[in-house]
């Protein structure tokens, strides 16, 4: 009987210890809503239709979440995104943004066309470079736009087309002007260029 009590007591101690370790993680914010799609590391579980948010400056993540909450961004592709954004408080938005901003953007392989990359780099330098810097740029946190280099190609293609089609609101008039200058095939060239970024770190 005493042996059973001792075993039961040790089991309770282990459970309480585990809970003490896990509670701060759960209490920080309602992260599990985000983890379901973006993963705990912000890399999207290898699902290319989910954007990488690891390492994106917190201010940009907050801006995106509030755009979903306010309806400036539509969720035709992923309705759950708007539902999730609308269910969390402003304080939780800040906590989630800080969490994912602190995660490392990990290198992974994406297919791309070298010729398209060369054209895309020229387009980026002409239209996008001023606002969208590389993730490893020391001034990335102060840049006007989020880093596009290394983003999932499928998602980036979808996002850029959504801006052109009006599915997403351009936050700055300058962005709308730049997008209007793109010709047929330019989006594909840009997508290939951005896809080649993390490949460099694997060489």
Q: pLDDT, tens digit, for every residue of 173-198?
A: 888 899 999 999 999 999 999 999 86
Handedness of CA 84, 88, 91, 95 (dihedral sign): negative
Asked whether residue 140 falls in the same domain as residue 58, the answer is no
Model confidence at 131, pLDDT cuts 50, 70, 90, reads very high
113 and 42 in one domain? Answer: no
Q: 192 with 116, same domain?
A: yes
Mean pLDDT score of the chain, rounded to an integer?
81
> CA 63, 190, 107 angle in degrees (round to 5)?
70
* For range 103-121, the mean pLDDT: 90
Shortest CA distance to 151 belongs to which of 68, 42, 73, 64? 42
Question: What range defines the domain where residue 190 resides?
Answer: 109-203
Residues 19 and 36 in one domain: no
160 shares a domain with 124: yes
Q: Is 35 exposed, middle or buried (0-12, 13-18, 19+ CB in 10 A)?
A: middle
Nearest Cα residue to 131 out of 118, 149, 105, 117: 149
Residue in the structure block whose two tokens are 């609101």: 169
**Domains: count for the chain:** 3
Angle of CA points 59, 63, 66, to nearest 5° = 135
The DSSP call for residue 127 is I
Give the CATH number for residue 93.
1.10.760.10
130 and 195 in a single domain? The answer is yes
Q: Name the token pair of 86.
A: 């609308």
Task: Please say if the pLDDT value at position 21 is more than 50.
Answer: no
Question: What Rg value do the Cα atoms of the chain yield, rounded?
Answer: 21
Q: What's the pTM value of the predicted model, to 2 decimals?
A: 0.76
Task: Let me know whether 132 and 170 are in one domain.
Answer: yes
Residue 38: closest CA among 96, 110, 109: 96
Q: Are residues 63 and 11 in the same domain?
A: no
């Amino acid at each position: 009987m005493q042996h059973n009590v001792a075993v039961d007591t040790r089991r309770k101690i282990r459970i309480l210890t585990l809970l003490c370790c896990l509670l701060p993680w759960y209490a920080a914010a309602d992260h599990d809503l985000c983890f379901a799609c973006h993963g705990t590391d912000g890399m999207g579980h290898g699902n290319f239709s989910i954007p990488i948010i690891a390492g994106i400056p917190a201010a940009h993540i907050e801006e995106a979440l509030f755009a979903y909450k306010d309806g400036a961004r539509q969720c035709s592709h992923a309705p759950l995104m708007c539902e999730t954004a609308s269910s969390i408080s402003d304080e939780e938005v800040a906590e989630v943004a800080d969490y994912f901003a602190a995660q490392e953007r990990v290198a992974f392989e994406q297919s791309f066309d070298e010729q398209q990359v060369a054209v895309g780099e020229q387009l980026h330098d002409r239209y996008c470079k001023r606002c969208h810097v590389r993730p490893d740029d020391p001034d990335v946190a102060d840049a006007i736009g989020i880093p596009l280099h290394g983003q999932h190609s499928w998602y980036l293609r979808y996002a850029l087309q959504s801006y052109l089609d009006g599915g997403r609101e351009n936050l700055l008039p300058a962005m709308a002007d730049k997008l209007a200058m793109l010709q047929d095939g330019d989006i594909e060239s840009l997508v290939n260029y951005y896809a080649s970024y993390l490949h460099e770190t694997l060489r």
